[in-house]
Structure 1
């Protein structure tokens, strides 16, 4: 049930259901520009695309080679492949140099990592690659969503059903909002704003070296 094999198995069908960027991501990106941008857990590239419109180059990193193939295909078909690069890599060990990006999104991926130490390590990796002055958006599933009836964070699996009826379990850590904020505080990132929107936790964060 590791994320790589899970998403390699469902990549094609999953990509078909992930066409548009989330409104919260579009709102975060509004008015922002960058030299280099990063999409951590890029999936099929639906958020790499708006990043590429605001940066000289946007890099998408994902653990699933199947999803990376979908991202490359999407970029070619939609005409943003000249402004993007897609790289196989782990969110907890990013194949990106220190202080390399000005702008990043880390959306709907953090909650797939286990245990907590791995989630914190991935947040530290994001802090490492952000340049001074860099800013990022982090999101994760939350207990605030109507589908959950628990107040405290918990681990669970959610099945993905393929067209033939096969079910593929996906691991999630569902955050309670206070826990999400605590993990950001535990990391090397500096939280600028934390909120719940559409049942998900969102944190706007900056690199630790920037002074306000």
Structure 2
């Protein structure tokens, strides 16, 4: 099953968070949320768009932080999960979930203070088209992540049920140049791939995460990292 079809399946949406962010996957969830909050900074009263919001992990978090946020996704099943999540924590009246196509965002130019997309570009069949759209609707800031070529991600990438695009640094630099975006800050993490953590109970995964973090701080860390976070501006 190809990426878009796999992603929109109802059963995938229902199991998405449990399969990826429970047990050892909690370390992934924590790091990703830290990356988003660190890049976007204080979001109180900011107008923010999350593209490919999925089940609303970040959308709801941003609403809890005081953002005026819209979460856009192509999957009705994923959006339903996000709405339920927002309702459970009492922010359903502060966040809007909308179905839409990331290649044709239904917003005017310069509409949002910040735009971000997590867990998206590894599924993007036209990354330049998508990034240009993120740029168009943002007043300045765009934040996104990539899975990296030359990392341990390659080891299990072929096992995934959907295609997964991996990026070299040169690929990202070319993508930014073609989208007329400037790199402001970057961060790299997870020498061990995500799939490794998701297979382990949290207590077993903890010491591996500690070693992973320590290795990431060495000169080889950035080169071996399987995930990169890119904070860019117009």
Of residues 151, 175, 187, the one that matches 1:183 is 175
- In the other structure, the counterpart of 1:128 is 136
Shift of 1:93: 1.4
Shift of 1:32: 4.4
Aligned length: 187
Shift of 1:54: 4.0
Shift of 1:185: 1.8
Q: Is contact 2:148-2:168 (8 Å) kept?
A: yes
1:53-78: CA deviation from partner (whole Å, max 9, x where unpaired): 34542100111111111111111112
- In the other structure, the counterpart of 1:61 is 72
Larger radius of gyration: 2
Shift of 1:17: 3.4
Partners of 1:145 and 1:74 in 2: CA distance: 33
Partners of 1:2 and 1:89 in 2: CA distance: 19
Runs (4+) of structure 1 exceeding 6 A deviation are none
Worse overlay, 36-45 or 134-143: 134-143
1:204 aligns with 2:196: no
Matches within 5 A, 1:33-44: 33-44=44-55
- In the other structure, the counterpart of 1:165 is none
Partners of 1:80 and 1:15 in 2: CA distance: 19
Q: Which has the higher helix share?
A: 2
TM-score (norm 2): 0.72
Q: Is contact 1:3-1:64 (8 Å) kept?
A: no
Of residues 2, 5, 11, the one that matches 2:13 is 11
Matches within 5 A, 1:145-156: 145-148=151-154
Q: Is contact 1:158-1:171 (8 Å) kept?
A: no
Of residues 86, 98, 114, the one that matches 2:109 is 98
- Label 1:195 to 1:18 Cα distance change in 2 as closer, same or farther (>3 A): same
1:86 aligns with 2:119: no
Say what the alpha-carbon RMSD is for the aligned residues: 2.1
- Label 1:55 to 1:170 Cα distance change in 2 as closer, same or farther (>3 A): same
TM-score (norm 1): 0.78
Partners of 2:177 and 2:112 in 1: CA distance: 21
Partner-residue secondary structure (3-state), 1:110: coil
Shift of 1:143: 2.2
Q: Is contact 2:147-2:153 (8 Å) kept?
A: no
- In the other structure, the counterpart of 1:139 is 145
